[in-house]
């Protein structure tokens, strides 16, 4: 855990690059249990100076404009780019001459994208005058994306891909942070025995220790990731190392639930002070 001075004064804190004026939160209608309006209210409370607006899902919102402009060719080009952004082999690119390919389909999550490639495509679709430094687009999506861990070289499904736009995957929230090992062992055994119906009961039994699809805690967990997107935009800093901070990118489901959903869930002292500075500070020069 990082140690910070007991008394946080301005001199210890980075200065925000920008004051956020507009935050657009794009809904994902395919995610059961997601309450995007509630998430937007949470962000509006955290950033009273910003206008937080909920929009339809990102692709529908942007493609409608293309369709109005008669951009069928553009849509065809985008489709090709989405295909190229898909992961077709889970083996790290540097190891592909040494190891046999691993099909992404083996994960059972449908199409999987390289996070930054997907982000770059979505950024292309954004209106130029909505892309100034004081605006942030947060795209909630059930699409699955990830990248390769720099140290282990394993492919990791991710929850967030921070930047403009910031992508937050609701599927990644459930499939990214590791489930308890005993859950995975039992689930594999049940799948082998064809006990698919019992797997739902298993997920229920493990509810205190792992999120499931349609889980009532999804929106709460997304609050932390949306704050992460805001802090990255304002300060250029990624997730927090402190596992008790809501800006922590949890490696396991238990860690995720603890840092986002426990009664005393909150930001670490440093990030609390940075958020207050962002919400109340003077405009940067």
Residues making contact with Zn ion (CB under 5 A): 240, 242, 245, 247, 268, 271
Closer to Zn ion at the Cβ: 28 or 242?
242
- We find the least distance from the C-beta atom of residue 269 to Zn ion, in angstroms, to be 8
- We find the least distance from the C-beta atom of residue 140 to Zn ion, in angstroms, to be 22
Closer to Zn ion at the Cβ: 50 or 247?
247
255 closest CA partner among 199, 180, 187: 180
- We find the least distance from the C-beta atom of residue 246 to Zn ion, in angstroms, to be 8
- We find the least distance from the C-beta atom of residue 2 to Zn ion, in angstroms, to be 8
Closer to Zn ion at the Cβ: 71 or 243?
243
- We find the least distance from the C-beta atom of residue 265 to Zn ion, in angstroms, to be 12
Closer to Zn ion at the Cβ: 104 or 224?
224
Closer to Zn ion at the Cβ: 179 or 271?
271
155: phi then psi, degrees, rounded to nearest 5: -75, 135
Closer to Zn ion at the Cβ: 268 or 277?
268
- We find the least distance from the C-beta atom of residue 241 to Zn ion, in angstroms, to be 8
């Amino acid at each position: 855990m990082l140690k910070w001075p007991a008394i946080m004064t301005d001199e210890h804190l980075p200065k925000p690059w920008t004051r956020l004026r507009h935050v657009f939160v794009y809904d994902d209608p395919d995610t059961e249990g997601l309450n995007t309006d509630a998430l937007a209210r949470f962000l509006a409370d955290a950033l009273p100076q910003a206008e937080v607006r909920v929009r339809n899902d990102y692709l529908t919102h942007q493609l409608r404009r293309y369709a109005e402009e008669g951009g069928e060719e553009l849509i065809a080009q985008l489709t090709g780019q989405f295909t190229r952004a898909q992961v077709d082999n889970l083996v790290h690119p540097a190891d592909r001459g040494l190891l046999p390919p691993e099909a992404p389909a083996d994960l059972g999550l449908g199409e999987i994208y390289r996070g930054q490639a997907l982000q770059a495509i979505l950024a292309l679709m954004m209106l130029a005058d909505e892309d100034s430094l004081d605006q942030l687009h947060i795209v909630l999506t059930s699409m699955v994306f990830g990248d390769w861990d720099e140290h282990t070289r394993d492919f990791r499904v991710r929850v967030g891909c921070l930047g403009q736009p910031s992508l937050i995957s609701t599927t990644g929230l459930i499939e990214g942070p590791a489930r308890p090992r005993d859950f995975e062992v039992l689930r594999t055994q049940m799948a082998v025995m064809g006990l698919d119906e019992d797997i739902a009961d298993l997920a229920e039994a493990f509810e205190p220790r792992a999120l499931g699809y349609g889980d009532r805690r999804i929106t709460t967990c997304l609050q932390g990731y949306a704050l992460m997107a805001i802090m990255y935009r304002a300060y250029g800093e990624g997730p927090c190392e402190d596992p008790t901070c809501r800006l922590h990118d949890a490696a396991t489901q238990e860690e995720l639930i603890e840092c986002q959903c426990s009664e005393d869930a909150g930001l670490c002292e440093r990030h609390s002070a940075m958020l207050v500075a962002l919400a109340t500070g003077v405009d940067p020069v």
